[in-house]
Amino acid sequence: MTRSPIIARSLSSLHRARTELCKRNATLALVPTMGALHDGHVSLVRLAKRRAQKVAVSIFVNPAQFAAHEDLGSYPRTWKEDLARLKAEGVDLIWNPDVKTMYPDGFATRVVPEGPALAGLEDKFRPHFFGGVATVVAKLFTQVRPDMALFGEKDFQQLKVVTRMARDLDLGVKVVGGAIIRERDGLAMSSRNVYLSPDQRSTAPVLFRTLKATAKRMRDGDNFKAALSDGADLIRQAGFALDYLEARHAETLSPISSLNDGPVRLLVAAKIGTTRLIDNIRA
């Protein structure tokens, strides 16, 4: 039998729980989530358990990272299922603040990331996103004070932004990326996949297939521009509205046009119907 996680909803109960959990200098890993947990989150929890003695998961749907037209209201909330999964994984602590606890009256401070947050990828299509992410993650780090925090590579740019932010603000938290977990047909797991109609769901793996095919052409020595342009055509022909398909330096996220110029990451974002999907792979 696994013990139930401690569930903290106020800062005072969080701090009490943290002190109790880490009293013999136990190391603590945090997996920040917005709930609606899937196997990708679970893989981060398992990675956390291998890396640290205690594991905390935060569940907070952060209004600050949604634009007015985005899906804050309809974002899936599955508390009961989430709790069952986290209990089964032996998570020690769930930090589940409400909006008033995270942003009390008079809240007036933003953490504004630049550098990787201005790479012209997600930031171009979701201009408020990384400001909201950086602010809430900075707060999650100072609230929970973990030794490390785990983020999925699916949000690849976010992983870079959070890594930079934690270093820049001397938060003392090591940011660790976890590999993308995929459905059997290759679709990257995402809480937003539940929005897809059956037709859209069967089309969705085109993104990963195209990433793989494009990466292969690059490794085979094809011109980056031609490979990317053909990949973009494939994605559009499948019925997506493409936001971007780009090759970037895997560390700096700056544009790159040859495998010789550094580790290359291929990144894609596209809408099918009203659902926006992102994915990426190493090229």
Catalytic residues: 41
Contact 177, 151 (CB under 8 A): yes
| 189 token code pair | 């797991």
Q: Is 1 in the site for its own copies (CB under 8 A)?
A: no
Integer Cα distance of 23 and 8 in angstroms? 17
* Beta carbon of residue 166, minimum distance to its own copies (angstroms, whole number): 9
Of 9, 16, 77, 110, the one binding its own copies (CB under 8 A) is 110
* Beta carbon of residue 131, minimum distance to its own copies (angstroms, whole number): 9
> Residue 38 or 139: which CB sits closer to its own copies?
139
Q: Is 113 in the site for its own copies (CB under 8 A)?
A: yes
Integer Cα distance of 139 and 51 in angstroms? 22
Region of 126 please: left (phi>0), alpha (psi -120 to 50) or beta. beta
Of 115, 127, 255, 263, the one binding its own copies (CB under 8 A) is 115
Residue 238 assigned as binding residue: no
Helix (H/G/I), strand (E/B), else coil: 226: helix
Region of 215 please: left (phi>0), alpha (psi -120 to 50) or beta. alpha
Helix (H/G/I), strand (E/B), else coil: 84: helix
Region of 253 please: left (phi>0), alpha (psi -120 to 50) or beta. left
Q: Is 164 in the site for its own copies (CB under 8 A)?
A: yes
Residues 46-85 that bind its own copies (CB under 8 A): none
Of 45, 52, 171, 207, the one binding its own copies (CB under 8 A) is 171
Integer Cα distance of 280 and 247 in angstroms? 10
Residue type, 147: D
Residue 15 assigned as binding residue: no
Of 8, 47, 138, 149, the one binding its own copies (CB under 8 A) is 138
Structure-derived torsion over alpha carbons of residues 228, 229, 232, 233, reported in degrees to the nearest 10:
-140
Region of 76-84, 150-158, 166-174, 188-196 interacting with its own copies (CB under 8 A): 166-174
Q: Is 124 in the site for its own copies (CB under 8 A)?
A: no
What do you get for the CA distance between the two ends of the chain, in Å?
A: 43
* Beta carbon of residue 101, minimum distance to its own copies (angstroms, whole number): 10
Of 26, 67, 84, 112, the one binding its own copies (CB under 8 A) is 112
Q: Is 168 in the site for its own copies (CB under 8 A)?
A: yes
β pairing state of 241-249 and 93-95: unpaired
Residue 189 assigned as binding residue: yes
Region of 44-52, 61-69, 161-169, 261-269 interacting with its own copies (CB under 8 A): 161-169
Residue 40 assigned as binding residue: yes
Q: How many CA atoms lie within 13 A of 205 on its CB side?
A: 9
Integer Cα distance of 200 and 228 in angstroms? 23
> Residue 218 or 256: which CB sits closer to its own copies?
256
> Residue 173 or 204: which CB sits closer to its own copies?
173
The residues binding its own copies (CB under 8 A) are 11, 106-117, 134, 138-139, 142-143, 164-165, 168-172
Annotated binding residues for ATP, as ranges? 34-41, 152-155, 181, 189-192
